[in-house]
Amino acid sequence: MPDYNFLDSLVSQVRRDILRMVHKVNSGHPGGSLGCTEFLVALYNEIMQIKEGFDMNGENEDLFFLSNGHISPVLYSVLARKGYFPVEELQTFRLIDSRLQGHPTTHEGLPGVRISSGSLGQGLSVAIGAALSKKLNRDDKTVFVLMGDGELQEGQNWEAIMYAAANKVDNLIATVDLNGKQIDGATDDVLPMGNIAEKFAAFGWEVILLKEGNDLKSIIETLKLAQTKTRKGQPIVIIMHTEMGNGVDYMMHTHAWHGKAPNDEQLEVALAQNPETLGDY
């Protein structure tokens, strides 16, 4: 049984980390980060089997790839709070000489990151490669990847979606963060993508719908269900409905906070809605 008290307190603390990180440098992407906070907290703390320490090859452990690299604040916070690197290092986000680049990279040697991302649409292909590598190594662990919904407008994704189904890459669980928003507005206004779940299904994927993508219990149950469907001949995708900016009232139900930092007053309001639980960095 998951320790929901701990997970709830971690979610609150990660939200504070995200808000403080982007506020300090007046840049970064809080909206998508807040929308995926529950998912990444659940994934790293309840689902993934992870070894002590970090090595790039990641053999005999579950792996996670972030394709929509702009939500780096949530990844950095979850990694730091998991112990991959000191929590204090979060204060270097987007500063000169930092390992916490605007978008995640392996190039500065940050533990927990296995691919650079930010230029969209590339993470699924990389995750497929890592999954194939695991199969060659007779490694029974699973590869997870998170993609944005707007990101699915990049054509490379559909090459990868076609390949994974055709080649039965069934040790792969992809999640699409379906928040319906991108920089220029609603995805339905920018470039309507139709029914994404039906598109994945048409390509041959096992599709799981997650209506409550900001609810820890729903997320954990869905990810556990997805785990039971691995190694059955199909790649798996979770279509996860989330609210961009979740947990900060004025950042929700708008795309305005996709890539904009709060000012001093806005930060205070946001932090008051997310109490300090595990200690600020």
Contact residues: other proteins, CB under 8 A: 56-59, 63, 65, 105-107, 114-119, 122-134, 136-137, 139, 155-156, 159-160, 162-163, 166-167
We find the least distance from the C-beta atom of residue 269 to other proteins, in angstroms, to be: 36
- Cα(21)–Cα(30) distance, integer angstroms: 9
**Residue with Cβ nearer other proteins (166 or 209):** 166
We find the least distance from the C-beta atom of residue 110 to other proteins, in angstroms, to be: 12
**Residue with Cβ nearer other proteins (167 or 254):** 167
We find the least distance from the C-beta atom of residue 256 to other proteins, in angstroms, to be: 28
**Residue with Cβ nearer other proteins (56 or 186):** 56
**Residue with Cβ nearer other proteins (17 or 139):** 139
**Residue with Cβ nearer other proteins (60 or 263):** 60
Q: How far is CA 18 from the centre of its chain?
A: 13
Q: Which two tokens stand for residue 144?
A: 């997870």
Question: By CB neighbour count within 10 A (0-12 exposed, 13-18 middle, 19+ buried), where does 236 fall?
Answer: buried
**Residue with Cβ nearer other proteins (130 or 178):** 130
We find the least distance from the C-beta atom of residue 136 to other proteins, in angstroms, to be: 7
Q: How far is CA 3 from the centre of its chain?
A: 21
Question: By CB neighbour count within 10 A (0-12 exposed, 13-18 middle, 19+ buried), where does 46 fall?
Answer: middle
Residue 220 contacts by C-beta under 8 Å, 6 or more apart in sequence? 2, 42, 46, 47
Phi and psi at 186, nearest 5°, equal -70, 140
We find the least distance from the C-beta atom of residue 107 to other proteins, in angstroms, to be: 6
Q: Which two tokens stand for residue 111?
A: 């533990």
We find the least distance from the C-beta atom of residue 96 to other proteins, in angstroms, to be: 18
Please report the beta strands in the chain, taking only residues with DSSP state E, as ranges in sequence order. 63-66, 143-148, 172-178, 181-182, 185-186, 206-210, 236-241
